[in-house]
Structure 1
Amino acid sequence: MRFNKLDLNLLVALDALLSEQNISRAAEKIHLSQSAMSNALARLREYFNDELLVQVGRKMEPTPRAEALRDHVRDILVRVDATVAAQPEFVPAQANRLFRLFVSDYTMTTLMPHLFKLAYEQAPGIRFDLRPQIAYPHRVLERGEADLLIIPKEYCSTEHPADLLLEETYCCVVWDQSPLAKGEMTNERYMAAGHVVVQVGDGQTALEDWFMQRLGIVRRVEASTYSFVSPAYLLAGTNRIATMHRRLAEEASRSLPIVLRDVPIAVPTMEQSMQWHKHRTSDPGLTWLRGLLKEAVAEMDKARHDAR
């Protein structure tokens, strides 16, 4: 099919080339031969009157024209996928769809087991690909690389719809033999202690640390880690303290020698949301999955209540 003399199949090739910046990998990604991909690149260069990708050392780099095209081409293909390729109905018991979710290890540990259980009961053929959180998560939505993001509300894009999944509070966690496990957890004791904090990488701070910075609180950091789960495992034998999501800390306390204490400062509640691409709001499979996630939150909190 052609539009303004452009073979629209070439947009798929261009998207792969801009994503991979390598002719062989781009060809493999969309199941073309290397010669066919080279031919597609030549036709694209002729149409746009631009090199699009130029060889720099051992890799190819996009030209300014190609960079300007990147997001627009991806958006066109996401629209096509959402409106043409999406199935008009979704029958969970018969489905074998793969859902890609970007989640933190907080969500992986607390919520995903309940989602998997419910999904297996309703749709045993459904498959999941769980990916780690990244900086600027909206970009994976816009590239069509994620079906759902599960992230704090503060990190949601204003360009795409989102829905609140749960609210989460924070607590202090200390080794059960530490002096901090006894007596009142005052602001002075909290600030005087050495802290284990989470740094998620890529220049993005954990929401709890962002809250602290906003409140003007500077803690004495003695250890940092990339995992929300890990601080609970790093406290034994020390007088350090970690500020953790309460659901996660409660889960860890069932098997670790730790004690949970209230945070002596007013740390705001985390609002954990799910976000999807605006072109996929009517996708029946995603509509089912979003509803199932809310059911999973209810199951998680029921199990939490029963364990107390």
Structure 2
Amino acid sequence: MRFNRLDLNLLVALDALLAERSITRAAERLNLSPSATSNALARLREYFDDELLVQVGRKMEPTPRALGLEESVRDVLVRVDSAIAIQPRFDPTTSDRTFRIFASDYTQLVFAPHLLALASEERCAARFDFLPQVSNPQRSLERGEADLLIIPRGFLSPDHPHEVLYAETFMCVVWRDGRMARGLFSRERYLDAGHVVMHPQGGVGSSFEDQFVMRHGVARRVAVTSYGFAMLPALVVGTDLVATVHARLARQLQAAWPVELREPPLEFPVMEQGIQWHKYRSQDPGLVWLRKLLRQAVTRMDAGLC
């Protein structure tokens, strides 16, 4: 199909080339040969009268024109996928769909088991792919690489619909035989201690409790960082370090590690855990079903059912 003399299949190739910045990797993504992908790039360069990708050392870098096209091309492809590829009805018992869900390891440990138990009760044949935690999940949603985000409300994008699933508080975790487990767990002792914190993959961004601390001008001495939440309680064992962890996760992991829980000496706000989906997929029957199941999973979680 052509539009204004442009073969629209070339937009798919352009999207892959801009995402991968490599002819070889783009070819693998497109299931084409490198020569066919190189030919597609040549046709794109001719149409746009721009190099689009130029070799810089061993890498290919996009030109300003290509950078200006990147988000627009992705938006067009997401619109087409939403309008054409989504089935008009969704039957969980026969669907071969894969739901791609961005969720932290905290969410997968505390909440996802209830979701999957409900899906099993419905004899769901669809698959669930939990994507690794990164510092900018909204980009995955925009690019159509994730169907759903499950993240704190404060991190949700203003450009897409969302709803709040449940509220979460925080607890401090300390080694039960350590100095921090003895005596008053005061604000001063908390701030003087070394802390174990989570930082998302990618080297930028921060967690909910980390942002709260920074906003209030409180300095914590970070002794250990990890890319996930689930290991934080384990990392305080044998030390006088402190980890500030989601309360549900802290209580769940208390049985697995020799730790004790303390109320935070700072007034941490309640975290609202939200879900977000792409604005073009609000009427997607599969996602409508999934969002309903997520709400049911909250009820199941709060009832303490496994």
TM-score relative to the length of structure 2: 0.94
Distance 2:90 2:32 in 1: 31
Gaps of 5+ in 1: none
Say whether residues 1:256 and 2:252 are aligned partners. no
Show structure 2 runs of 5+ residues with no match.
Answer: none
Q: Is the 8 A contact 1:120 1:126 kept in 2?
A: no
Deviations 1:240-261 (A, max 9, x none): 2221110000000122211111
Cα distance, 1:237 vs structure 2: 2.4
Instruction: Give the corresponding residue for 1:159.
Output: 159
CA drift at 1:287? 1.0
- Distance in 1 (alpha carbons) for counterparts of 2:132 and 2:236: 24
1:89-122 Cα offsets, whole Å, 9 max, x none, are: 1011111111111111111211112222222222
> Deviation of residue 203 (structure 1)?
1.7
Rounded to whole Å, the distance in 2 between the matches of 1:62 and 1:222 is 39
CA–CA separation in structure 2 for the residues paired with 1:182 and 1:38 = 66
1:39-188 residue pairs with structure 2 within 5 A? 39-188=39-188
**Distance in 1 of aligned mates of 2:228 and 2:134:** 13
Partner Cα distance (1:102, 1:199) in 2:
16
Measured after TM superposition, the shift of residue 130 of structure 1 is: 1.2
Deviation at 1:226, TM superposition (A): 2.3
Q: What SS does the aligned partner of 1:252 have?
A: helix
Amino acid aligned to 1:70: E
Would the aligned equivalents of 1:103 and 1:132 in 2 still touch at CA under 8 Å?
yes
Q: Structure 1 residues 13 and 179 mapped into 2: Cα distance closer, same or farther (>3 Å)?
A: closer
Amino acid at match of 1:84: I
**C-alpha deviations, 1:37-81, integer Å up to 9, x for none?**
222222211111111122223332211111111110000000000
Compute the displacement of 1:186 (Å).
2.5
TM superposition shift of 1:182: 4.3
The one-letter amino acid paired with 1:133 is Q
Supply the distance in 2 between the matched residues of 1:203 and 1:84 (Cα, whole angstroms).
Answer: 36
Contact residue 186 and residue 265 of structure 2 kept, 8 A: yes
Match of 2:21 in 1: 21
CA change 1:179–1:59 in 2 (3 A) is closer
> Is 1:34 matched with 2:34?
yes
Deviation at 1:18, TM superposition (A): 1.3
Corresponding residue number in structure 2 for 1:204: 205
Question: Cα distance, 1:144 vs. partner?
Answer: 0.9
| C-alpha distance 260-58 of structure 1, shift in aligned 2 (>3 A) | same
Structure 1 window deviating more from structure 2 (128-137 vs 63-72): it is 128-137
Contact kept, 8 Å, 1:175 with 1:258, in 2: the verdict is yes
CA distance in 1, matches of 2:78, 2:228: 32
Confirm or deny: 8 A CA contact 1:95 1:123 kept in the other structure.
Answer: no
Give a deviation string over 1:217-254, Cα, whole Å, max 9, x none: 22233333222111211222223222111000000012
**Residue identity in the other structure for 2:34:** Q
Counterpart CA distance in 2 for 1:281 and 1:251 is 34
Percent identical among aligned pairs is 55
Q: Which amino acid aligns with 2:108?
A: M
Tell whether 2:219 aligns with 1:218: yes
The one-letter amino acid paired with 1:293 is L
Q: Give the residue type in structure 2 aligned to 1:71.
A: E
For 1:70 and 1:99, locate their aligned partners in 2 and report how far apart those are by CA, in whole Å. 25
Tell me the matched-pair count.
Answer: 305
Q: Which moved more, 1:156-165 or 1:19-28?
A: 19-28
SS of the residue 1:32 aligns to: coil
Q: What is the rounded CA distance, in whole Å, between the counterparts of 1:65 and 1:13 in structure 2?
A: 16
RMSD of aligned C-alpha atoms?
Answer: 1.8
Q: Greater shift after overlay, 229-238 or 276-285?
A: 229-238
Q: Which moved more, 1:174-183 or 1:210-219?
A: 174-183
Matched residue SS, 2:218:
coil
Q: What is the match of residue 9 of structure 2? A: 9
